[in-house]
Chains A and B, each alone.
Chain A
Amino acid sequence: MRNETPLSAEVLSQLVQPARVHRRVYTDPEIFELEMQRIFASTWVYVGHESQIRNPGDFFCTRVARKPLVIVRGKNSEINALHNQCAHRGSMVVAVDAGCADEFQCCYHGWTYHLDGRLKAVPLNHGYPEDFNIKNPNTAMVQVPRVQSYRGFIFVSLAAEGHSLEEFLGYMKTSLDDMVDRAPDGELDVAGGTFKHVYEGNWKIYLENLCDAAHPWFTHRSSIAAAQQQDDAVYSDGSGEIAIRQMRQNGAPYSFWESQVGIWTYPNGHSYLGDYHDDAKLVAAMNDPTFRAYVEALQAKKGQQETQRVMEIRRWNSNIYPNLSIMSQFQQLRVIHPIAVDRTVVHTYCFKLRGAPEQMFRNTISFANIVNGTGSLVLTDDLEIYNRITLGFASEGAEWVEIGRGYQSDVPDVHGGRKGKNSTSEIYIRNMFDAWREYMFGGEAETKGAAA
């Protein structure tokens, strides 16, 4: 199948089959452009957290479907999402990553905008055409049609129509709940800086790796071996200890992944990988004084029963398709920014749990360094994989990418999703392609393609 074939719904449907996908979905620039329109510019996309813009005038810049946006807390505390473009001659108005402003002013001819995007003032305003009017919506920084937050997590949709945020999140909102419910005071703060990674590869590859329980033992073997051989008597200020524990965990045998870890998937491409709850793990964790202090803080604020409920949730990566991954146990969040068909940037953030012991955030930082750090002993091997997949796709080898592990052994989940037979099932990738089909061509699933 050559790239010149026009991308009709029928052609697209043939590229994505129940247990395999054509490599062209990762390499064709035209498909990438369609994904930007039909997925990123049409569904809900995570842009940031309300703690980044606590006060009126606080703003940060981001991109959705590659389009630059400003997310700003307005005068009445509402959240506005504006296209970052001057209505006059098109210049990008806000050029810093984040800050606080009373108004936005374009650096070209000084057009000035209110925080909700309405034009406020224009210098030299007598020279414009007769019908020029600063109250005309065409002279505004254009508002994104829909912006909404769920428990502090801000999502936007560049499309005026479509399912509501609640419908979009479905049962996966419980992973966002779990992020917030872990804070003894019930509030989160983004803190501790941002990692930004780039790799020469398609955006989908990233999410396909985050719930991949079959890769650590191979991909991360150099860090697993190095960590296993480390002498624990050597000095650590705590940072290395947390990092090394995590690297050793990656070396858990396949039997662990297949018997103690599960993978759950839900409509719209969402999924999470999680431990099965086990009281023994919780009891062991209580040996750690920081964890014990944290559990006591939770109990004091939320009571015994709610604390027990929160502790029994043991999710690792929760992926909210197409651009968000969170990890509630260590307060991590990643946002995927597709740049080109073969270029992706990922931003990662940490959260501070209000009311938790200070040491806990120090542990969050150490964990971020090893799991999400640009110079991490673990992530660097993942980035290598993403780059190598792109190199592999350039070959004339297998046209099809196999995503059939566990195919036809899925079981229904009581919350309306499907669960893999065990955590090494590739069900979460098939689930993302179900959503992909729905977004890209209305889901006329595997009709002719299935027999190809």
Chain B
Amino acid sequence: MTTSKAATAHTTIAGKLSLDDCKTFLIYEAQLLDEGHFDRWLALFTADARYWVPSVPGQQSPHDTVSLMYDDRRLLETRVRRLANPRIYSQEPRSRTSRIVTNFTLVPDNGTQGVTVRSKFMMVEYRREEQRLFAGTVLHCLVNEGDNIRIAVKRIDLVNCDAPLDGLVVPF
């Protein structure tokens, strides 16, 4: 087994990236999203990042089951570019969001690079006289690139991922 090797790697990277560092980073990320700085948000991701909102609780793979959102880096760039397009009708009027991110914990290392942070979030989205409430668990796989923290994978498990929903446009 690779447990001891993985534990070592975890300690090393966690040594560089403390839980406090991660908290600060995730709160900053939420702020960028709430303020609509989607380009700056995109810049937080690695060149081969994946962004994933499963459609089933505990979904194992984005490739054998549909997802509310599943973007490789190429599609994530297109998603963000669309958000800036003045003719994005599903954002006319624009949504306003407010997020709370909390309950941060470091997930024991899974042998991959970087650290995995688990957190809870709640997001209120207001648009056209209607307010929607989303809540769920988020996993961030964070890596250090030079002096910067970058997101390699972000997975958002909504508590109501299998409910009938109207369109989801603003990223979680």
Contact residues, A256-308 vs B (CB, 8 A): none
Within 8 A of B (CB), among A357-406: 361-362, 365-366, 368-369, 372-375, 377, 379-381, 383-385, 387-388
* Docked CA distance A243–B92 (Å): 23
B164-A196 in contact (CB<8A): yes
Binary contact track B58-79/A, C-beta < 8 Å → 1, others 0: 0100111111111111111111
Contact residues in B for A129 (Cβ distance below 8 Å): none
Q: Which residues of the partner chain A approach B65 to less than 8 Å between Cβ atoms? A: 192-193, 365
The CB with the most chain A CB atoms within 10 A, among B53, B165, B167, is that of B167
Does A329 reach chain B (CB closer than 8 Å)? no
Chain B, Cβ-Cβ closest to A339:
B164
Closest Cβ of chain A to B139, distance in Å, is 17
Which residues from B are CB-within-8-Å of A387?
Answer: 166
The answer to whether the Cβ of A234 comes within 8 Å of any Cβ in the partner chain is yes
A374 near B70: Cβ-Cβ < 8 Å: no
Please report the C-alpha to C-alpha distance between residue A362 and residue B53 in the assembled complex, in whole angstroms.
Answer: 17
Residues on A with C-beta less than 8 A from B90 are 380-381, 383-384
Q: Is the pair B72, A237 in contact by a Cβ cutoff of 8 Å?
A: yes
Q: Contact check, A383 vs B66: say whether CB atoms are below 8 A apart.
A: no
Known: A368-B66, A373-B67. A234 touches B165 (CB 8 A): no
A195 touches B66 (CB 8 A): yes
B88 part of interface (Cβ distance < 8 Å)? yes
User: Does the CB pair A235–B66 fall under 8 Å?
Assistant: no
A223 at the interface (CB under 8 A from B): yes
CB distance from A370 to the nearest CB of B (A): 8
- Which residues of chain B come closer than 8 Å to A380, judged between CB atoms? 90, 167-169
B85 at the interface (CB under 8 A from A): yes
Q: Mark B137-172, 1 if CB is under 8 A from A, else 0.
A: 000000000000000000000000011111111000
Q: Nearest chain A CB to B36's CB is how many angstroms away?
A: 15
B85 CB contacts on chain A under 8 angstroms: 221-222, 225-226
Known A-B contacts A236-B73, A240-B75, A244-B75; the reply to A230 vs B81 at CB < 8 A is yes
Q: How far is the CB of A349 from chain B (nearest CB, A)?
A: 9
When distances are taken between beta carbons in the complex, the residues of chain B under 8 Å from A385 are 89
What 0/1 readout, one digit per residue, does chain B (19-59) give for beta carbons within 8 Å of chain A?
Answer: 00000000000000000000000000001101001011001
A191 at the interface (CB under 8 A from B): yes
For residue A311, CB closer than 8 A to chain B, the reply is no
Q: Is A197 engaged at the interface, CB distance under 8 Å to the other chain? A: yes
- Residue of B63, B88, B166 near A365 (CB, 8 A) is B63
Q: B82: CB under 8 A from chain A?
A: yes
Of residues 321 through 365 on chain A, the ones whose CB sits less than 8 Å from some CB of chain B are 345, 348, 350, 361-362, 365
A169 within 8 A of B: no
CA A225 – CA B81 in complex, angstroms?
A: 9
Residues A59-74 near B (CB distance < 8 A) = none
- Determine which of B53, B56, B74, B88 lies in contact with A222 in the assembled complex, contact meaning CB atoms within 8 Å: B88
Q: In the docked arrangement, what's the CA distance between A74 and B48, Å? A: 49
Assess the A235–B82 pair: CB atoms within 8 A.
Answer: no
Please indicate the chain A residues that have their CB under 8 angstroms from the CB of B168 in the complex. 374-375, 380
Complex CA gap A388/B92 in Å reads 11
**Residue in B81, B89, B166 whose CB lies within 8 Å of A381:** B89
Min CB–CB distance A365 → chain B (angstroms):
6
> Which residues from chain B contact A373 at a C-beta distance below 8 Å?
66-69
C-alpha gap A374/B82 in the complex (Å): 16
Alpha-carbon separation in the docked complex, A219 to B85 (Å): 13
Chain B residue contacts of A10, Cβ below 8 A: none
CB distance from A296 to the nearest CB of B (A): 22
Evaluate whether A193 and B55 lie within 8 angstroms (CB atoms) in the complex, with A235-B47, A237-B50, A361-B64 already known: yes
Min CB distance B86 to A, Å, is 8
Q: Indicate whether A384 sits within 8 Å of B89 (C-beta atoms), given known contacts A223-B78, A230-B74.
A: yes
Say whether B74 contacts A241, CB under 8 Å: yes
Whether a CB of chain B sits under 8 angstroms from the CB of A227 is yes
Does A134 interact with chain B (Cβ within 8 Å)?
no
Q: Which residues of B contact A237 (CB under 8 A)?
A: 50, 72
Asked if A239 and B82 make an inter-chain contact with CB atoms under 8 angstroms apart, the answer reads no
Q: Is the CB of B63 within 8 A of A381?
A: no
Is A444 close to B, CB under 8 A?
no
Question: Do A374 and B74 touch across chains, with their CB atoms under 8 A apart?
Answer: no
A-B contact pairs, 25 of them (CB 8 A): A192-B65, A193-B65, A196-B162, A196-B165, A197-B164, A197-B167, A198-B164, A226-B82, A232-B74, A234-B77, A235-B73, A236-B72, A239-B75, A240-B72, A240-B75, A244-B78, A362-B63, A362-B64, A368-B66, A373-B69, A374-B68, A375-B69, A380-B168, A383-B167, A384-B92
Knowing that A191-B64, A362-B64 touch, tell me 9 more A-B residue pairs with CB under 8 angstroms.
Answer: A198-B164, A200-B166, A225-B82, A236-B72, A239-B75, A240-B76, A240-B78, A373-B68, A381-B90
The 9 A-B pairs with the shortest beta carbon distances in the complex, nearest first, are A240-B75, A380-B167, A240-B74, A375-B69, A226-B82, A375-B168, A222-B88, A222-B85, A236-B74
